[in-house]
Amino acid sequence: MALSAAPAIAILRSSTASRFAEVTRTLHESGVGVVELTLTTPGALDALREMATDAPDTLHLGIGSVTTAVEVELSVEAGARYVVSPAVVPEVVAEARRLEVAVLPGAFTPTEVLTAWRLGASMVKLFPAGSGGPSHLSAVRAPLPQVPLVPTGGVGIEEAAAYLRAGAVAVGLGTPLLGDACEGGGLAALRERAERLLGALG
């Protein structure tokens, strides 16, 4: 799966999706090839639909905060190449598999992680990762080495590499990477943060 080759997922969550296209373009130009637009942002599906029409093959656009099968269907119709859920929702995993898109359920405990994997998750979003840190990821992964984990939630640029060293296949970052870019903040600063993140991840 193409997502597994990307070390970072940028998570766009804002009060408006009006700047998502511009922010995504900056991220992609900086080397971040996987971007997640969240359904909790008004207009996220419309923004995805517009962006997906001419997105290059090196840009993987997905939808996050997905909690129902209907939302999976709407996301895929809008152009999502993967969907992300904050929890283990069987109908979300089943619908994503039916539509043949990658799905990352959110899980925190070993029981939740294994349940998500057995349902057919492509990867499992360890969430909220900041509550346990890299040591929690390492502890969860020890008995479940076959499950690709993507820590998300509370992961900072400075800590990102530690999660990879602990065994994560990628990291998901929202505010620490995006800052105020989605609300009109400087894109030059966003570019600097993105380059700093990718530099840290090697």
Helix (H, G, I), strand (E, B) or coil at 61: strand
Contacts of 181 (CB under 8 A, 6+ apart): 19, 23, 26, 187, 189, 190
Count of beta carbons in the 10 Å neighbourhood of residue 171: 28
> Amino acid identity, residue 38?
T
Instruction: Return the closest-CA partner of residue 149 out of 122, 166, 126.
Output: 126
> Amino acid identity, residue 59?
L
Q: State the catalytic residues.
A: 36, 125
